[in-house]
Each structure stands twice: as structure tokens, then as C-alpha cells.
Amino acid sequence: MGLNGPAIVDNAIDLEGEGQLSSLFSHAPQSVGFNKLRKRLLRQVRQALDDFQMLKGQKRWLIGVSGGKDSYSLLAILMDLKWRGLLPVELIACNLDQGQPNFPKHVLPDYLRSIGVEHRIEYRDTYSIVKEKVPEGATYCSLCSRLRRGNLYRIAREEGCNALVLGHHREDILETFFMNFFHGGRLAGMPAKLLNDEGNLFVLRPLAYCAEDDLSRFAAAMEFPIIPCDLCGSQDGLQRNAMKAMLADIETRMPGRKDAMLRALAHVNASHLLDTRLFDFAALAAGPNP
């Protein structure tokens, strides 16, 4: 079973004839191990698309591509599904060049052209804004993310897209949940499907069920031209890093706990929590004693 319904089986995905998929998988390993990994990721993405009805009313998606392993993997998996007739939406890849020093501007345009995907490269110097606004020693991630997201929303509208599609995976969702739990005093994670505040654009996360380790192995095998983030990646002591280390330790000592935690986020029992807005405790009434 999937988190919210019947599981989509691996056997539904045939890897025969993959050479027809432009040049995306032309240098991919032909090993049994890689094929199993690829099929597992395809199945998990299809499961998320189905569980959260991500395709309902959708015609065109803007895929955020940062140059990291997750967004490269997201794009490759979506292109794979589209080629197989399992993703009936148009795809346009987009990279937001945020003006980080030494950012290799040629890498993403060259790669996106090589795999034959429609794309747009947008330049906005949000790096200078973040450096100016954030005090020395504080973390850049929050402001950087807000500025990036705002620009991607705008670009999605300009390109006639119904949704902005992002590469957040299982660990991202769990880390966000525990950051809110420990530091924000609330039970909230990172939804797989979200409608923006204006109500005119979806944010979708098809990798919600995918493990970060699987995506790392997939990206390495595919030899994606990874671009490191020198803005936030150079900072130490981030809360998210602490959550990542905690979850990794739990998984090492008790294998399978990450999947169990993710399932828990899909099975909420409001009457067993303490939020009076979600459950009407005042309406509880006991019947007469027998």
C-alpha cells in the first residue's frame, strides 16, 4: 500500500526502449541495481501524483532546477514519465540565477539544451539582498528561499503554468516537521500539494515519498553536473542540519523509522492531540452508566 492508497507496482514501468528518451539516459548505467533504483523512484513519484491528485486540472508545469541533485533527479523522472505517456502535462525547466559569486552560468543552459527540454534561465541578484539584510552569523536560508519562491511564482505565471514543481523529498519533509515541532511549537510539515495565497498557482512536490539516499545514488549514476550552493551551503550549525543528523541517527539505530514517520504524517488522529480548533472537545458527552 502507498501512504494514502493502493501502491503502484514496479511491474507497471517498462524500461525497454529507453534510448528513445532523447539523450537523458544515454550514459546511464545498464546494471540491475540502477534499473531497480530508477523503477523505485518512478513508482514513488507516480504514487505521490496519484495520492495527492497532482495532475487534476494541470496542463503546464514550471520545474524549479537549482543545479542540485534533487532538482536534476526530479526533472529526469518527470521527463521519463512524460515519455512513457504517464504524465500528460507540458514541462518547462527554470533556473533562477541568484547572483552568487562564481556561479557557473553555462552549466545549466548547456545541460538543459543537451537533453532537449524547454527551459528558461532568469537572472535576479537576490544574493546581494540576502547579504545586506541578514546579520553576520545568521542563516540565509529563510530569506533566500522567500525571494527565490517569489520570483519562481512570477515566472510560472508568465509562462502560463498551473504549478511550480519543486524537488523536496522525504527527508526535507521530515526535517521541516521536526524544525516546527522543536522550534516553532506546532505540528506542520511540508505539504506535497499546496495552493498559493493568491489561489492561482499550485506548488507540487512529487518526490515526497523518495528517500534522499536514493536520489543521491541516482544523481551520481546519472552524472548530473551538480552546482553547489555557496550561499547557504557554507554555513554551519543550521537547525535543518541538526534535524538531518538526528533523523540519520534514529534511522541507523532503528531502520525503517523514516518511512514510519512519513506514514504518521498521513494518518492524523485529531481527537488524540490537543488542538481545540481541530476537534470539538467541548462537545464530548458521556452516556448513562449501564
- pLDDT tens track for 27-71: 889 899 999 999 999 999 999 999 999 999 999 999 999 899 999
Domains (range + CATH), the chain: 29-266 (3.40.50.620)
pLDDT higher at 128 or 163: 163
For residue 139 the three cell numbers come to: 542563516
Which phi and psi angles does 5 have, rounded to 5°? 175, -175
Largest CA distance in the chain: 78
In this prediction, residue 237 has a pLDDT band, given cuts at 50, 70 and 90, of: very low
In this prediction, residue 128 has a pLDDT band, given cuts at 50, 70 and 90, of: confident
CB 196 within 8 A of CB 153: yes
144 is in an annotated binding site: yes
How many C-beta atoms surround the C-beta of residue 110 within 10 A?
11
161 is in an annotated binding site: no
229 is in an annotated binding site: no
